[in-house]
Amino acid sequence: MEGVLQSVKAFLTALASQLSSLIKDQTDSTAAKIHHVMESVREALLE
């Protein structure tokens, strides 16, 4: 039983790590897109 619990814990830990990484990547990507849009708006306003 202890081995099963260890396996489940390891699986959940790995899953949480993957999700955290995925969320960070999405957040970074979204921030980059927002920054790009803001730059485009700023350039359009300065013309």
Nearest to 24 by CA among 32, 12, 36, 35: 32
What pLDDT, on the 0 to 100 scale, is given for residue 12?
Answer: 97
Higher pLDDT, 1 or 18: 18
What pLDDT, on the 0 to 100 scale, is given for residue 47?
Answer: 87
* pTM, to two decimals: 0.68
Residues in the chain: 47
How far, rounded to the nearest angstrom, does the alpha carbon of residue 47 sit from its chain's CA centroid?
35
What pLDDT, on the 0 to 100 scale, is given for residue 2?
Answer: 92
5-47 pLDDT, tens digit per residue, is 999 999 999 999 999 999 999 999 999 999 999 999 999 999 8
What is the mean pLDDT of the segment spanning 1-5?
93
